[in-house]
Structure 1
Amino acid sequence: MKNFPETEQPILTSEFAEVYDIVFDFDGTLFSHDSFFEFMKFVLRKSKIRTLTAYLLAPLLVCLVIFRYRLKYIGSMLLWIGTVGLTDRQIDRYADEFVSRLIDGHHGHFYRDGLTLLRDAISSERRVMILTASGRFLIKKILINEGLHVDLGASKVSRRLGGLICDFHCYGENKVRFLIENGIEQKFDEFYSDSSADLPLFRLAKRSFIINGTARTKAKIERALKQSVCLINWN
């Protein structure tokens, strides 16, 4: 099984710090859409055959979601369909093209308020990390394109049977697993996320912020934490 090579551009930082002041989720928090799902749609639409295959499998994927089958495997199915037969160079080129389209607002955009907070935290030399379920090779490109130099924990992909699959899904409890495996202290001053799936990280933060969440999401997180959590709307 061959590991998918990441972008040839320099890595964002040379190694992880032991402690972080601020941790951000990415999709729905700093970024308006599910970036990796948008990328997969973008790649699938490059081929009528791939698009048709995805549509034919859609009922199965919906059933898997309903019965709470692991998101890692559902995502891997779509990822494999979208990339089987493509070379690493082709996938890298598609990722570059996708990122370039973000400038015009295609496929989503950064929340201005969140981006300002992130840039301010970086410029003030606070230790910042982004933890996301999206693929590392894609998020690296998005961040570099924005000139953001920040530590990144993300899902990892590799090749199997000619296409890409998800090796490590950085989602839910796996975000905590990422911290542990990389020797990162499991507590930080602030955490920002839009999703109750990040409850394991909400529990580790001194101050937590729900971004553009619903009242239902806020209530669910507060019940679990047994404390009030600030709800913020970012544009």
Structure 2
Amino acid sequence: MPPPGSTRHRYPAIAADAPLVVFDFDHTLYDGDSGGHLFAWLIKRAWWRMLLALLLAPVFAPMIAFLPTRRVGIGAFVWAGTIGFHRRRDLDELIDRYVVTHTGQIRQHLLPVALDVLHRHREQGDRVVVATGAPPELARAILGFVAHEDLPVVGTLVGPRFGAVMATRHCHHQMKMTMLREAGYTAPVAIAYSDSSADLPLLQAALKPVVVNPKPARVAMFRETLPAGTPILNWGCRDRAGDPVSGS
């Protein structure tokens, strides 16, 4: 992982037949919910947004705890944070401002072990892509400004909805595979890294799935669902499960 403030590393050229390696972002490269941190900041920028979020919380906050209703619950707070925006570019500009002004805090959330693994794949000439449920501009900005890694990112598409800028196509579960293929990543997935049961389609499609930083309650499910011997690792998330891996 390049030290803070360094220029981007020059990696080998990627061959046409290079192995395709896919990384999830939240709880895989980043310790936490990057989108949640962004939208909390967007809400806190104005008192009336905070009041609106408080009014929404009794109904929508409990929905976030359950997978079938999670998108609706999160969407309500995204709406509170972006109401009044009319273009995706409006959100992208605020994302860049958020990352630049919170570089120190964001750096503390990036997982050094994960970035070491990503760096090694790029050194080997692998075709590396990040596929995330967060807006792609957020992951790109964090990786570019903070980690000095210039990487392609496939993520949730956003656009104007209900007077705000919200998700129009969520990069989640099977749709993550669909969006990867549509973005041109049609080769077999050689290795996939993710923490989430929502990424089972990605992990099951990979020749070598690697589970990193899973919730403790999900470990048994991963062991039953994925091939025997699938690594289940912890790259530095203290509240997550997996076999600990130290940095290089």
CA distance in 2, matches of 1:110, 1:76: 25
1:77 and 2:76 correspond: yes
**86 and 215 in structure 1: CA distance in 2 versus 1, 3 angstrom threshold:** closer
SS at match of 1:133: coil
Whichever residue aligns with residue 29 of structure 1, its letter is: T
SS at match of 1:157: strand
Q: Following superposition of structure 1 onto structure 2, how do residues 52-131 of structure 1 map, counting pairs within 5 Å?
A: 52-65=51-64, 68-86=67-85, 91-105=91-105, 109-131=109-131
**131 and 67 in structure 1: CA distance in 2 versus 1, 3 angstrom threshold:** closer
SS at match of 2:190: strand
**108 and 162 in structure 1: CA distance in 2 versus 1, 3 angstrom threshold:** farther
Contact 2:140 2:150 in 1 (8 A): no
- Give 2:172's aligned residue: 171
**108 and 80 in structure 1: CA distance in 2 versus 1, 3 angstrom threshold:** farther
- Give 2:196's aligned residue: 195
1:31 and 2:30 correspond: yes
**114 and 95 in structure 1: CA distance in 2 versus 1, 3 angstrom threshold:** same
- Give 1:12's aligned residue: none
SS at match of 2:134: strand
State the shift of 1:98 in Å. Answer: 1.9
Residue deviations 1:111-146 (CA, integer Å, cap 9, x gap)? 001111112222332111111000112222112213
SS at match of 1:158: strand
Whichever residue aligns with residue 202 of structure 2, its letter is: L
Greater RCO, CA 8 A, separation 6+ = 1
What RMSD, in angstroms, separates the aligned Cα atoms of the two structures?
Answer: 2.5
State the shift of 1:150 in Å. Answer: 1.8
Give 4+ residue runs of structure 1 displaced > 6 Å after superposition. none
State the shift of 1:179 in Å. Answer: 2.6
Residue deviations 1:135-164 (CA, integer Å, cap 9, x gap)? 112222112213212221100100124310
Contact 2:131 2:180 in 1 (8 A): no
Contact 1:18 1:185 in 2 (8 A): no
CA distance in 2, matches of 1:219, 1:20: 29
Which ranges in structure 1 are unaligned for 5 or more consecutive residues?
1-16
Count of aligned pairs: 219
SS at match of 2:199: helix
- Give 2:12's aligned residue: none
State the shift of 1:55 in Å. Answer: 1.4
Contact 2:20 2:128 in 1 (8 A): yes
State the shift of 1:61 in Å. Answer: 1.0
**107 and 125 in structure 1: CA distance in 2 versus 1, 3 angstrom threshold:** closer
SS at match of 2:235: coil
Identity %: 27
Which ranges in structure 2 are unaligned for 5 or more consecutive residues?
1-15, 237-248
**215 and 49 in structure 1: CA distance in 2 versus 1, 3 angstrom threshold:** closer
CA distance in 1, matches of 2:17, 2:95: 31
CA distance in 1, matches of 2:54, 2:108: 22
Scaled by the length of structure 1, the TM-score of the pair is 0.82
CA distance in 2, matches of 1:18, 1:158: 35
Choose 123-132 or 138-147, whichever is displaced more. 138-147
